[in-house]
Amino acid sequence: MFVALGLTGAAGLWAFILLLRQLYYICQPSEVLIFAGLRRRTGSGQTVGYRTVRGGSALRIPVLEEVMRLDLSNMIIDLRVENAYSKGGIPLNVSGVANIKISGDEPGIHNAIERLIGKSQDDIRHIAKETLEGNLRGVMSSLTPEQLNEDKVTFARTLLEEAEDDLQRLGLVLDTLQIQNISDDVRYLDSIGRKQLVELKRDSRIAEAEAKSQSAVKQAENQRITDLRRLDKDLAIATANAEKRTTDALTRRAALIAEVEASVGAELARAEAELPVQTERIKQVTEQLQADIVAPAESECQTMMAEAKGEAATIIEQGRSQADGLRDLVESLKRSGDDAKRLFLLQKLEPLLTMLSDTVQPVEVEEVSLVAEKSAGSTLTIATLLKQLQQTTGLKLPIEAAESINNDD
């Protein structure tokens, strides 16, 4: 009995496990589980007859639900369009590679469930390829061959924008798109290439010439900068040397000034130190001069002045006496008449002749002859004698006085 119960329990457990495996589904990261059968409302408010599970696990309701899997892995599609007319009517051949996958987010997942559920990946690739090639032809018709060939990145971006809406309605997402090659059967692109090659060579030569020119200009500029820097360096050295010489000169000048000031200060100090000695010496010399020279001189001067005053008094007295004598003589002569005048002149003739002879050089006279000269019966007079003496000696004698005396006679 216990064995039967054990076998029954084991069979029941095994049946439960088998049932659970039939109803329990695990969703892989690269897929979506679709439980179709029961109606439900989506996040956008749309009512659908399924529920989706992305990642994790879920139980299927027996009889009421059916489970389907939708692969979300990436799909590579080779694109090739031949004889697709570009803008301008040039047929072109374009090849490229696109990476697409089924959208896992709303509302793209719902479009994919409605349009792609039950289809294989080959079918999905074919649908996506036809869609992309149609979009590719449409984009090519709006661009020139030059635009298509020169800017493939812009071409691919335009194609992505053009195909995005169509793929979104299919529930697909275009991850990447690369244009690999663009060619034509009429060799139009080759001519463009040759033209571009010529232009490229021309631009290369121009660029090379400009580069050489710029290099020459740059070299000249560098040489100018080098020369300026060398001049600045030389100027800085010259300035430094001049400043050094100026500093040395100022230092020597200051040293000389200090030396001179020290010497002058020493001399001044020595002079100031000797000033009292010199002052005392001057005082002594002054006193000595006063005693030896000035005082005797003053004394002698006083003595000489006294003597001069005495002599002057004597001379004055003598002069007064002579004047009084002359005055008395004149009065006497006036009273005595003409004979007294002649007598007076004869008395004064000898001292007068002596005085006159002292004023001339000595003359040897061996003989003097007095020759009487008569004029109109007159005898020798004093005036005639004086004239003869004047002619002989060259002396100026008082002839007029003698003539006046003769006239008085």
Under DSSP, is residue 300 helix (H, G, I), strand (E, B) or coil? helix
CA distance 185 to 325: 181
E strand or H helix at 333? helix 295-336
38 CB-near residues (< 8 Å, 6+ apart): 49, 50, 51, 61, 64, 65
CA distance 36 to 384: 205
CA distance 132 to 126: 10
Of the candidates 175, 181, 4, 223, which has an alpha carbon nearest to the alpha carbon of residue 96? 181
pLDDT, tens digit only, all 409 positions of the chain: 556 666 677 777 676 677 667 777 788 877 888 888 777 777 667 777 777 777 777 777 787 878 888 888 888 988 888 887 878 777 888 888 888 888 877 777 888 888 888 788 888 889 888 888 888 888 888 877 777 777 777 778 888 888 888 888 888 888 888 888 887 767 776 666 666 666 677 788 888 888 888 888 888 888 889 888 888 888 889 888 888 888 888 888 888 888 888 888 888 888 778 778 878 887 887 788 777 776 777 788 788 888 878 877 787 787 777 777 767 766 776 666 666 666 666 666 666 666 656 655 555 555 545 554 444 444 445 566 666 666 665 555 555 655 555 555 5
Domains of the chain: 2-68 (no CATH), 73-186 (3.30.479.30), 338-360+369-408 (no CATH)
